Structure 1
Amino acid sequence: MVSVTDPVVVAARRSALAVRGRGLARADVARLGGAVVAAVVADAGAPPIADVVMGNCMGPGGNPGRLSALAAGLGPTVPGGAVDRQCGSGLSAILDAALAVRTDGRHRVAGGVESASTAPVRSIDGTAYARAPFAPAGFADPDMLRAAEDLARHDGLTRARQDACAERSHARAAAARSAGRLVAEIVAVDGVREDEAAGTGATVLARLAPLFPGGTVTAGTSTRIGDGAAAVAIAPAGAATGLALRGSAVVGCDPALPGVGAAFAVEAALTDAGVELVEVAAFEIVEAFAAQSIAVLSRLGLADDDPRVCADGGALALGHPWGASGAVAVVRLFSRLVRAGAPAGAYGVAAASVGGGLGIAAVFEVVR
């Protein structure tokens, strides 16, 4: 039974997900975030909004939450804030906003936005660098490609198994798009209405060379860097229809193997919610890499091809706009459960592993 204090996601929308430098290359954080924020406020019936909280990784300057609120036309009295928990930023923003709703009973909008195409170049003393560190000196600090390769070796994950995971994600995404299951959740930005999914098949995947000598991770089993945004409207307990937040968790893990963080977070969030793994109807776990996805599912005791996991394809097919991806996961749950007519009491889980050795997860329950 849902607690009388549980906040409820009552609307959820996202932009299409585009590859960096392609369809959304000219859409900055304000345009992307403003479009999805405006859509969820309208879907929710335009209630007074107390705050807009948006996750973001690349730090375009300013305040992505405030930029999104103003671009959405909410007016100068609606504030905004930003959360940086790397690939978990969008989901973290939703959890932070939900806690505030539980506290004061006022509606909020939360999500994530990333424009890798327009992100500024970072530099120290005039020298550009690719990324900020995920961990300080004295700790392992692999970039995510290296971390995926290390995890594949650590778990003994074969090239064939990773290729099969990527092929399955692409096939599921193609089927969902053909069936029109993604249309209702997507807000057009700059005329882009569909995800730039590659549709990569087994033949192409098999031809791709490993990214490291003697390794198994390839470009095909790695997600593409993406542009996109996602947002949800969160109402106080008592909302008639939506996803009630039942439990959540943010955990730390070994910075050398950050890809497994989602597994530990899912376990902790399920415990927080008092829900068993077998009870969950839908999982949306951010697929940064095939190796990472397989490793997380294995630790949870789930099969690689569990039909409940990313049933319409995941980030391997659709792309990974870092700061938005955790929020995209919640939008996908909303479509798979609320829009699709799942019965009251059905559970969904959104989760992500995070660079630096973190995991974040949330458990939602359908209310009607």
Structure 2
Amino acid sequence: MNGQRPIVAAARRTPIGRIGGAFATTPIHELLSPVLTALLEDLGITGADVDDVIVGNAGGSGGNPARYAALTAGLGIEVPATTVDRQCGSGLEAVNLAARLVASGAGDIILAGGAESASTAPWRVERPAVPHGTPRFYARPHFVPAEYGDPDMGVAGENVARRGGISRERQDRFALASHRKAVEAARSGRYDAELVPVRVRVGRAAAVAVAADECPRPDTSMEKLARLGPAFVEGGTVTAGNSCPVNDGAAMVAVVSERKFRELGLSGGLRVVDSTVTGVDPVILGWGPVPAVRRLLKRNPGLELADVEVVEFTEAFAGQVLACLDELGIPEESVNRGGGALALGHPWGASGAVLVTRMFSDMFGTADPVAGRARYGLATLGAAGGLGIATLFERHPAD
């Protein structure tokens, strides 16, 4: 079985754009296809070598965009593809599924990750209940039955921040730190190895390459953040400044068997050790990472969180992240060392794969003194409907 141990051997992402921004007219398959091509180039393989493509997507139109993107990228008609939806956990779920398929012997090279285009996602319209009735537009589907409570994301963020006793000032300070880390990461070239420029066309103008993340703010400050009012609950602490924006982007990784890793002559990767998914009360859906991480540790006796030096956590809301970190005993300064979703953005279906891409890039492609020597990495996030997902990685080969 050791020859089938799953290893993340390459990881790439697009820049992350703001809804209606750089990728305003760029559909999902056009975000995904250049990332797929980049992975093939990184591994030195062709599309014919790929056993499957798995893409997470939360807000699209259906129709299996994974297949559409694989064909757009020229992988070939023989290469299958599937699209999965675990809402914000979709991208990480795709990676986990790929790892399990490789571990089972079902494939040796699987490209997995996620994509989201909030800018081009179709409108949602409810069919009228009676003939000649008026259709109703709605913002999101119901994630759980009404009797369980089905709060909007911002309200759920408030619930978790309140549960954890996270002050408004602390949330703003965490958001500011995320922006500062992301701005410095871009300035220093920390993202260079993971980014894939995407060519976009607006009207009749010549196509231009989008090569940088759109949302990090070099000019933000505690004073500016403090001026923002509550965004979701009157008298609340969650604001537009300490919440993630709405975004477009894609991230994909190559999960290969250990045998194929050796055959390709690759030098460094992330072994997928284990993954867990748990359910929590949908009213506090952002609490999901707490039981997910605890279950992961229980499944891997002898491993302590103190042993995990690289932690990537989707920053949907600062208060939600801080409440979970406090409960788990993870120092906030050790999380998202190159910036998180509060600054970079949260392209829902892609965000879990962005975590893995950032982890791969930091552990193998930067001068970060902690990440560069780390043995273990953890990716975790909460998802709509009351879900938590966590995945443990180990440097391969281990030092």
Is TM-score (shorter-chain normalized) higher than 0.5? yes
Amino acid of the structure 1 residue aligned with 2:177:
R
Shift of 1:303: 2.8
Specify the SS of the correspondent of 1:138: helix
Q: Could you tell me which residue of structure 2 aligns to residue 153 of structure 1?
A: 162
Give how far 1:348 is off: 0.5
Residue by residue over 1:220-263, the C-alpha shift from the partner in whole angstroms, topping out at 9 and shown as x without a partner, is 01100000000001110242420000111011111110111012
Contact in 1 for aligned 2:36/2:252 (Cα 8 Å) = yes
CA distance in 1, matches of 2:361, 2:155: 33
Report whether the alignment pairs 1:197 with 2:215.
yes
The whole-number CA distance in structure 2 between the counterparts of 1:210 and 1:45 is 50
- After TM superposition, the score normalised by the length of structure 2 is 0.88
Distance 1:333 1:273, change over 3 A: farther
- Report how many aligned residue pairs link the two structures: 365
| 1:70-109 deviation line (CA, Å, top 9, x unaligned) | 1111011111101100000000011011111111242110
2:202 alignment partner in structure 1:
none
Q: CA deviation at 1:343?
A: 6.4
TM-score, L = length of structure 1: 0.95
- 2-side partners of 1:237 and 1:344: how far apart? 21
Is 1:112 the equivalent of 2:117?
no
Q: What is the Cα deviation at residue 34 of structure 1? A: 1.0
| Residue of structure 2 in register with 1:15 after alignment | 14
| Worse-matched range after superposition: 341-350 or 328-337 | 341-350
Question: CA-to-partner distance for each residue in 1:317-338, whole Å, 9 max, x for gaps?
Answer: 0000000000000000001112
Match for residue 351 of structure 2? 325
Instruction: Assess, with a 3 A threshold, how the Cα gap between structure 1 residues 157 and 58 changes in structure 2: closer, same or farther.
Output: same
Between 1:348-357 and 1:270-279, the stretch displaced more is 270-279
Amino acid at match of 2:350: A
Distance 1:222 1:343, change over 3 A: closer
**Given the alignment, which residue of 277, 280, 286 partners 1:253?**
280
Please say if 1:355 is aligned against 2:384.
yes
Question: Which one of the candidate residues 234, 241, 244 is aligned to 1:220?
Answer: 241
Matches of 2:330 and 2:95 in 1, distance apart?
26
8 Å contact kept, 1:170–1:198: yes
Q: Give how far 1:198 is off.
A: 3.3
Aligned to 2:329: 301
* Structure 2 CA distance for partners of 1:160 and 1:195, relative to 1, 3 Å: same
Q: Structure 1 counterpart of 2:286, which letter?
A: G
Query: Helix, strand or coil for the counterpart of 2:121?
Result: coil
Percent of residue pairs identical: 46
- Choose which of 117, 121, 124 in structure 2 pairs with 1:122: 124
Distance (Å, rounded) in 1 between the aligned partners of 2:2 and 2:339: 31
The one-letter code sitting in structure 2 at the alignment partner of 1:352 is L
Deviations 1:100-125 (A, max 9, x none): 11112421100000000000011111
Amino acid in structure 2 at the alignment position of 1:279: D
Is contact 2:279-2:388 (8 Å) kept?
yes
Aligned to 2:25: 26
Q: Which amino acid aligns with 1:244?
A: R
Gaps of 5+ in 2: 128-134, 200-208
Instruction: Give the match's secondary structure for 2:198.
Output: coil
Aligned equivalents of 2:250 and 2:372: distance in 1?
28
| C-alpha distance in 1 between matches for 2:215 and 2:297 | 31
